[in-house]
A and B are shown apart, each in its own frame.
Chain A
Amino acid sequence: MKIAAKVIKLVLLSMYLIFAVFPVLWIFLTSIKPPYEVYTFPVKYLPSHISFENYKKLFTYSDFGKYFLNSVVVASLSSLISTFFAMLAGYSLSRSKEKKVYYIVLFLFFAQMIPAYLVMIPQYVMFSRFHLIDKLIGVIIVYSGIGASFSTIMARGFFARIPKELEEAAMIDGCNRWQALFKVIIPLILPGISAVFSFSFVNSWNEVFVASLFLNNSEKYTVPVALYSFISKAGVNWGFLSAGLVVALVPTIIIFAFAQKYIVEGLTQGATKF
């Protein structure tokens, strides 16, 4: 009976693993097929030989290297900005139980519920006036704002675990508040900060609607906008697109692999505890 239960559990876990992993594995397999083997039916499961033809085409027929770089710039800068501010605000908001803190956190909680696509049109109008359309800096600013509220709530959760006595001790030893924060507290919650950063990086890296609306000049495309443009043109070349998808997925999967534990922690406390 006990063994039967164990076997069933093992089978179910394995089935789910296949279900979870297969789609991305399949895109990867498609991307390393020689282009003429991409469209076969019945499907040829493994390539006859590994070919990087699709990747070559991706980087020669489109400016994918440039798009990738644009995405790196946009995602890194926007998450640096929002993480830095979230760190400061999250700290202060974790240190006091005054009424104003409650209202600010409540405000941030509601703000993070407003989805990005809902406010992108007014943002587009605002940014047109400032001549920030078709510029990476425009998208960087928008992403910093979108991520700011959730990042703050998440950072606050991490700070709340550090006992107050720690910085009080530091301040008795002659540190001022800033020194206590940067020299004592922040080194302690570095994993939490990196989770906040990873979280906003992944979100910015993946965002497609604001970027498509704001960036019309192909010089400024980010990776999602480029992928979007590949399917907008007549017909989809799946060999080409699968190579693009693999390149697009790699950075976020690497980040997830490193920060998974802390992201998971941040997610669970960000959404259940307030």
Chain B
Amino acid sequence: MRKPRRQARFFWFTVFPTLLLVLFLVVYPTIKGFIMSFYDYTIFTFWNPHFVGLRNYKAIFSDEDFYQALWNTIVWVAGSVTFQFLLGFGLALLMWKPFKGRGIYAGLVFYPWAISGFAIGLVWSWLLNGTYGVVNDILLRLNIVEYPIHFLSDPDWAMFSVILINVWYGIPFFAIMILAALQSIPRSVIEAAKIDGAGPARRLFSIVIPYIKPVILSTLLLRVIWVMNFPDIIYGTTRGGPAGATDILPVYMINTVFYENDYSKAAATGVIVLGILLAYTVIYMKVTSFKELEL
């Protein structure tokens, strides 16, 4: 009788600190944020907030900028994830067969993973600068454009530009995931297809893709959540501007905190984002039918 009890004690003793951290710093704040969204926490009422019912939500839902941010979020996620995936897949295929120096190559092309999105945003603001930017310089020298493009300050170009940056940033992640999946395909399967006379395209579509489909699906779906909640690059470049052209929901929320100091309205935006996240997760679970979650 003594041994199982001691085992249970060991189990809870080791798991408890992590659970406590997560409960205190993730779960409780989530609940607290929900409650806050019905109060009026601003810089003036911070220590003495009043219950205001649905006022914050009404303010958000009657704000045109919110709908623009909602639409921008969809464009941002769809544009980023599609191209991150396609190019990441391409890169993984190119790197599949071992070649000399592949390890170093992988290190060189994957390093952006370690850099903060915010810093990436700043780096690219300099590259894409409309007056002194090196990208404009190259485009002009190659006679591709006649005048410099104001990539980040022209509302027609801004969303394209931040997506471009995000694609650059996200390709390595997809390449890593897909490369790992590719390497799990048994060589014999590929060899057998080769012997049967299947060309590269045929092998790709009828063997490789079906084989790694679960990884592709779960990576794509999880990445959507991640990109949707990734304001860092936009905050390093445009902060949602010009004229709201790159204002996605997280940026909308952070601007409410940093510039309006309206914590409750931001909390209410957070609740809305969390709602979207939850709905999406349910769809994700349905699509993958919990397969990835089996222990």
The distance in angstroms between the C-alpha atoms of A146 and B18, with both chains bound, is 11
Q: Mark B109-151, 1 if CB is under 8 A from A, else 0.
A: 1111111111110111111010110100100110000000000
Residue from the list A30, A104, A128, A257 in contact with B19, Cβ < 8 A: A104
Q: A209-B231, A224-B118, A252-B114 are in contact. Are A88 and B18 (CB under 8 A)?
A: yes
CB–CB B15/A104 < 8 A: yes
* 1/0 contact string of A240-252 vs chain B (CB within 8 Å): 0110010011001
The interface on chain A, measured as residues whose beta carbon lies within 8 A of the other chain's beta carbons, has a size of 96
B153 at the interface (CB under 8 A from A): no
Main secondary structure on B side of the interface with A: helix
Known: A12-B94, A23-B123. 4 other contacts (CB 8 A): A101-B295, A119-B270, A260-B110, A267-B173
Partner of B94, one of A9, A43, A205: A9
**Is the C-beta of A52 less than 8 angstroms from some C-beta in chain B?**
no
Interface contact A17-B109, CB-CB below 8 Å? yes
Does A177 sit at the interface, judged by CB under 8 A?
yes
Cβ contact within 8 Å between B32 and A117: no
- Does the CB pair A272–B109 fall under 8 Å? no
In the complex, B60 has a CB within 8 A of chain A: no
B14: which of A92, A206, A242 is its contact (CB, 8 Å)? Answer: A92
A114 to chain B, nearest CB (A): 6
Selected contact of A85 from candidates B21, B41, B134, B168, CB within 8 Å: B21
A253 within 8 A of B: yes
- A126 beta carbon closer than 8 Å to chain B: yes
Q: How far is the CA of A20 from the CA of B106 in the complex (A)?
A: 11
Complex interface bits, A213-246 against B, C-beta within 8 A gives 1, otherwise 0: 1000000000010011001000010100110010
A119 touches B122 (CB 8 A): no
- Total residue contacts A-B, CB cutoff 8 A: 250
Question: In the complex, are the beta carbons of B295 and A97 less than 8 A apart?
Answer: yes
Given known contacts A26-B127, A125-B36, A241 and B229 CB-to-CB distance under 8 angstroms: no
**Residue B91 is within 8 A (CB to CB) of chain A in the complex:** yes
The answer to whether A113 and B123 touch across the interface, beta carbons within 8 angstroms, is no
Q: How large is the interface on B (under 10, 10 to 19, 20 to 34, 35 or more residues)?
A: 35 or more
In the complex, what distance in Å separates the CA atom of A56 from the CA atom of B25? 40
B17/A121 in contact, CB under 8 A:
no
Closest CB in chain A relative to B73 CB, distance in Å = 13
Q: Is the CB of A149 within 8 A of B10?
A: no
* 7 interchain residue pairs of minimum CB distance: A145-B25, A206-B116, A256-B114, A122-B32, A88-B14, A115-B229, A122-B29
Chain A 17-42 residues near chain B, CB threshold 8 A: 17, 19-21, 23-24, 26-27, 30, 38-42
A118 touches B273 (CB 8 A): yes
Subset of 28 A-B contacts with CB under 8 Å:
A12-B90, A23-B124, A42-B140, A43-B134, A86-B18, A89-B17, A91-B14, A92-B10, A101-B295, A104-B15, A110-B281, A114-B30, A114-B274, A114-B277, A117-B250, A118-B33, A119-B270, A121-B33, A122-B29, A202-B114, A206-B115, A228-B118, A238-B132, A248-B116, A267-B176, A271-B177, A271-B222, A272-B218
B119 touches A114 (CB 8 A): no
Query: Does A141 have its Cβ within 8 Å of any Cβ on chain B?
Result: yes
Q: Select which of B90, B115, B118, B171 is within 8 A of A227 by beta carbon.
A: B118
